[in-house]
Structure 1
Amino acid sequence: MVLSAVLAGCTASAPEPAPTADLGRQPVGVATNTGPFASGPVKAPADRVWVGAWVKPEVWGQDGRRDAVTEVEAKLDRTFDVINTYRTFDEKFWTETDKEYVKRGSVVMISWASGDTRSMVDGEHDDLIRAQARKVAKAKKPVMMRFRWEMDRPNLRATMWSPEDYIAAWKYTRRIFKEEGATNASWVWCPTEEGFDRGEAPAFYPGDDQVDWTCVDVYATSEYVPLDRLMGAFLEWAAKRPKPIIVGEFGVSRAWSPAQRAAWIRDAAGVIKANPQIRAVSYFDSDPDDRTTAMQFKISDDKAAFDAFRDLDDELSGVKRG
């Protein structure tokens, strides 16, 4: 699976040196709704924040995916609450590792790249959509369906066509899932923080009756900016919705020193706690191919940054270590 387009909405210019001083301020709390939320089959935790990740395998395939997650979880000394996984439109759902993760108690979040929205609504892909829906139904356990995440990216306009077309495809697909008995899926709507800064993302929202979790993807790339400032526009918008929030992807780039990355992650923990509507987060532990350091986010091989992530996990998940 190719992930080269996952972060296309982020800037990749060379970073400027930046101090860590502005990470010492009080994190901004905007999304302070504590529920209870209407979040579909995947019920938002009431007393903690789920912590998860996408971990890029060294070798693609089930064994590689398993090894990648297991290695990071061993360093974390516990299993992830949420495991993000990417699938192309026609790529198989409900693989061996999907089943393993759900069986042990983790929530699988399927980030599913859709097809052309107009051809979907025209019925050209019904057999494929129905087959995928039946796979999800067989899971029987609650799963997160992150349908065409980052739909607001400019480089997806050719297949999204318009916000109206995207919403039509969302509703069409969700209806088919219901018809095929895949009522165990919570539907996650996840644009980019840049889309909110541009004022474009809200137009893609299918509606409170169609969405179970709101979501955003957010990265500190070539600018060393705290998490709450990066996703401030999203938080203000999400606070008006009766939905829990999952930060579907977040990360701080290798452009910054290990100490700076660690400081950013520790600050992010405070941001998440100050916004209790955030009920889950998923780190993007990956260095996408053919990217500059400003667009690489792996921390599992950066001791200082990973130690900070471990502290974030402890703080948010309520884990008590000896």
Structure 2
Amino acid sequence: MRRLAVFAALLVLAGCTTDRRDEPEPVPSPDLSSPPAAVAVNPGPFEAGPVEAPSTGAYLGAWIKPEELTHDGRVEAVDTLEEDLGRPLDIVNTYRRFEQLVGTDSDKEFLDQGATLMVSWATGDNRSITGGEHDRLIRKQARAIRKLHDPVLLRIRWEMDRPNLRATMWSGADYIAAYKRIRSIFAQERVENVSWVWCPTAEGFVRGDAPAFYPGDDLVDWTCVDVYAGNEFQPIGRLMGPYLQWAAQRPKPIIIGEFGVARAWGSDGRAAWLRDAQRTFKANPQIKAVVYFESDPEGNGPKQQFQLAGDRPAFTAFTKLTKDPYFNP
């Protein structure tokens, strides 16, 4: 009988443990009300390459995840967002695997519509690049981009400082060596329509390891950062403050290559964060382009879902940002 009683008690405890649900996290409320202090104080002029920085204000762009990764799907996704915003995008971000060439029908259509293409190119293992294993592929990409003729922003393995990429990035020195080899091959192919964009994460500057991946002012046209209110809900100025302080020491315009605020922080919190982002961008005149990450990647939880469409308060705040004359240079 005693054994049965103990067994029954264990079943009750197990049932309690299984059925107990985690308490919802309280929505944090950092101070997003006061205007941010300017951090990036470099007034220019800036050496930006073929994609010139606007003399005042900043370009506005986005990555919009299409329903299908086809020509029609990509174009429809961009057209829908532009229609909802009531304005065209200055920059369309597009992601490519190492073997995927630029110059698709949708690429050409965006260029024909007057947008600047920002190509986020997921290059491979840095040591295999420097060893010459991918020269032929890199040469094909160079020729494909050259054929576009229009100026293109090119992010060589964006977020190279992420710890989960260390197995292929190896080190800052390895990344720089691969970056130089890619640039050298593009030069051999007489590619003159690329502005080279170096784009680590905001977290990499908080940790302090991102600067080790910087190829140098002579090899970079735009410095860049990806910044999200994802796992932590903080004002955007605080999240990217260390990067802005670093970038202010360089004669380069800044592009916010990706920014987003997660669904987890609620509609009102997201709207407040976007209003703060608008003030922060305008308070830092070195920021010459901002590109939103309009996507809920598959398999991600609410702290990694950034699509604004369908969230009326958040999308309204974003629309106000996009219609600000500052972002219509």
Asked if the contact 1:187/1:211 (under 8 Å) is kept, the reply is yes
| Paired position in structure 2 for 1:8 | none
Select 1:44's aligned residue among 44, 47, 53: 53
Matches within 5 A, 1:128-147: 128-147=137-156
Unaligned runs of 5+ in 2: 1-22
Change over 3 Å in CA distance of 1:251–1:86 after alignment to 2: same
Give the superposition deviation at 1:18.
3.6
% of aligned pairs identical? 57
| 2:285 maps to 1:244 | no
Partners of 1:88 and 1:114 within 8 A in 2: yes
CA distance in 1, matches of 2:31, 2:237: 12
Does the aligned pair in 1 maintain the 2:60–2:328 contact within 8 Å? no
Query: Does 2:161 match 1:152?
Result: yes
1:102 aligns with 2:111: yes
Whole-angstrom distance in 1 between the partners of 2:291 and 2:68: 21
Question: How many pairs are equivalent?
Answer: 307
Equivalent residue letter for 1:193: A
| Partner residue, 2:17 | none
1:116 paired residue number: 125
Verify the 8 A CA contact 2:30 2:234 in the aligned structure 1.
Answer: no
Distance 1:19 1:224 in 2: 7
Supply the distance in 2 between the matched residues of 1:154 and 1:21 (Cα, whole angstroms). Answer: 27
Cα pair 2:156 2:198 within 8 Å, conserved: yes
Moved over 3 A (4+): 18-21, 316-320
Q: Aligned pair 1:170/2:176, yes or no? A: no
Q: Is 1:67 aligned to 2:76, yes or no?
A: yes
After superposition, give the CA deviation of every residue in 1:242-277 in whole Å (9 maximum; x if it has no partner).
000000000000002211111110110000011110
**Structure of greater Rg:** 2
Residue 179 and residue 193 in structure 1: after superposition, are their counterparts in 2 closer, same or farther (change >3 A)? same
Greater helix proportion: 2
Kindly indicate whether the alpha-carbon contact (under 8 Å) linking 2:225 and 2:257 is maintained by their aligned counterparts in 1.
Answer: yes
Matched, 1:273 2:311: no
TM-score by length of 2: 0.90
CA shift at 1:181, angstroms?
Answer: 1.8
Alpha-carbon contact 2:60-2:327 (below 8 Å) kept:
no
Query: Quick check: 2:176–2:214 contact (8 Å CA) kept in 1?
Result: yes
Tell me how far apart the structure 2 counterparts of residues 62 and 179 of structure 1 sit (CA, whole Å). Answer: 31
* TM-score between both structures, scaled by the size of structure 1: 0.92
What is the root-mean-square deviation of aligned Cα atoms in Å?
1.5
Matched, 1:219 2:228: yes
Instruction: Assess if the C-alpha contact under 8 Å between 1:117 and 1:160 holds in 2.
Output: yes
Alignment partners' CA distance in 2, 1:260 and 1:15: 15
1:104, CA displacement in angstroms?
1.8
3-state SS of paired residue (1:66):
helix
Structure 1 stretches lacking a partner, 5+ long: 1-13
SS of 1:209 mapped into structure 2:
helix
For 2:147, the aligned partner's letter is: K
Partners of 1:300 and 1:316 lie apart in 2 by: 22
Q: C-alpha separation between the residues in 2 aligned to 1:234 and 1:155?
A: 20
Question: How far did residue 240 of structure 1 move?
Answer: 0.4
**How do 1:3-18 and structure 2 match up within 5 A?**
16-18=25-27
